[in-house]
Amino acid sequence: MKTKMFAVVAALLLTLVAGKVSHAQDAPLYVKVPFDFQIGDQMMPAGEYLVERPVASSWSLQRLRQVNGDAVMTISTVPTEAKNGDRVPELIFNVYGRTHFLAQIWVDSGHGHQILKSKREKEMLRSVQGTEVALLFLPGRG
């Protein structure tokens, strides 16, 4: 009996969490990136991008699509939540010298996506002092 009760409670909690997560990013988000940047081992050109979820049921996938160009990349991410209150929707880049790596995507006030560091970024992290740059999503466009 305890096992059944636990299963019912677990199912209800999962349903509540999945409902909240699936609602978090319904529309694409627009951002203008003024510099070339890397995602993993792929270089992406500066430009205007839409950030969207390519598969409605997948919280871990995000797609960056250049508005006026051919650059498109689907990114496997690790979901993360804001530790200290709300976050504004934004892209976070790790910067080493003149090289920018996309590090996080925050789609709403509490839900984010962490991008795993590539081998190249890990090497740069060991040898170059890094900084962080945030770009806010812009209203409209989409």
The pTM score is 0.76
Share of the chain above pLDDT 90, in %: 46
- Region 8-14: mean pLDDT is 35
Is the distance from CB of 65 to CB of 49 less than 8 angstroms? yes
- Residue 98: both structure tokens together: 């003149």
pLDDT digits (tens, 9 = 90+) for 40-99: 889 999 999 999 988 776 778 999 999 998 899 999 999 888 887 778 889 999 999 999
Taking alpha carbons only, the member of 57, 102, 103 closest to residue 80 is 103
Residue 6 has pLDDT above 50, yes or no: no
